[in-house]
C-alpha cells in the first residue's frame, strides 16, 4: 500500500490471528446433537467457522429463527466453558502486531465472535496490549454483521469517514471482505484460514497474503 497513509489495521480473529477449529467444531457438534440435527459428515463443521451462525444454520438446515437461536445458545453453552481456549495462535502473529504498534499504527479487532469470548482469547495469547480497541458481535444481535462490528470499532478509536482511506481490514473469509467493502475500507484476504482464494477475490479483496511475511509487506 505504500504505507505511510495506513493508520489503522482491523483484524478478524478466527482463522486470521488464531486457529479455533478444535474448540469451534466441538461446540457445533454439541449443539447439533442437543438439537437432534443431522449435520452431515464431519467435514461440514469447518464451513461454519466465519459466518454468523444463526443465519447460516437457518439457511443450511431450514431452521426457523427460534430453532436456530436455540442451537446457537447450546453452542455458546459449550464454547463459553470448554471451546474458547481450545485454540492455537498462528506463528508470527505477535511479532506482526508488535511491528505494527512500533510503526505507530492503530490496531483494532473486528470479529463476529461475541466480545466476551474474543477478549478472553486475546488475553490467553497475551495479545490484548497490542489492540487499541477490540469489538465482537453483540449477544443482542444489534451488532451482528461484520460491517456493523467494524464500523463500531473504527468509531471507538476515532476514525472519521474522511479517514477511511487509511484503514485496512485483514480477514480470512468473504464475510471480512464484504464487511470492509460495505464500510468503505480496503481489505487483505489471508490464505491460511477458512476462506478460499476464489471467494476472497470474487468478493473484492484488494490484497491476498499467503503467509505472515507477505502480510508484513502489505501492512508495513
Residues with catalytic function: 12
Sequence-ordered list of residues with C-beta below 8 angstroms from that of 153, at least 6 positions apart, any chain:
10, 108, 109, 110, 133, 134, 135
Beta pairing class for 18-19 and 88-89: antiparallel
Most distant CA atoms of the chain, gap in Å: 53
Give the residues across from 137 on adjacent strands. 114
- Cell numbers describing residue 137: 458481535
- Cell numbers describing residue 121: 482469547
Return the closest-CA partner of residue 172 out of 91, 110, 79: 110
d(CA 200, CA 207): 9
Amino acid at each position: 500500500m505504500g504505507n505511510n497513509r495506513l493508520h489503522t489495521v482491523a483484524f478478524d480473529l478466527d482463522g486470521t490471528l488464531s486457529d479455533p477449529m478444535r474448540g469451534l467444531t466441538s461446540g457445533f457438534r454439541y449443539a447439533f446433537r442437543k438439537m437432534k440435527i443431522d449435520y452431515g459428515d464431519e467435514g461440514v463443521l469447518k464451513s461454519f467457522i466465519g459466518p454468523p451462525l444463526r443465519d447460516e444454520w437457518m439457511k443450511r438446515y431450514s431452521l426457523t429463527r427460534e430453532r436456530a437461536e436455540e442451537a446457537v445458545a447450546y453452542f455458546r453453552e459449550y464454547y463459553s466453558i470448554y471451546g474458547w481456549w481450545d485454540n492455537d495462535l498462528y506463528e508470527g502473529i505477535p511479532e506482526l502486531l508488535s511491528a505494527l504498534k512500533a510503526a505507530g499504527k492503530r490496531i483494532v479487532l473486528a470479529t463476529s465472535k461475541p466480545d466476551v469470548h474474543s477478549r478472553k482469547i486475546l488475553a490467553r495469547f497475551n495479545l490484548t496490549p497490542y489492540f487499541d480497541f477490540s469489538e465482537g458481535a453483540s449477544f443482542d444481535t444489534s451488532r451482528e454483521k461484520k460491517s456493523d462490528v467494524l464500523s463500531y470499532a473504527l468509531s471507538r478509536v476515532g476514525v472519521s469517514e474522511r479517514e477511511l482511506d487509511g484503514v485496512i481490514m485483514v480477514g480470512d473469509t468473504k464475510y471480512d471482505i464484504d464487511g470492509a467493502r460495505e464500510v468503505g475500507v480496503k481489505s487483505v484476504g489471508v490464505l491460511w484460514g477458512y476462506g478460499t482464494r476464489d471467494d476472497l477475490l470474487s468478493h473484492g479483496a484488494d490484497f491476498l497474503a499467503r503467509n505472515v511475511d507477505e502480510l508484513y509487506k502489505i501492512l508495513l
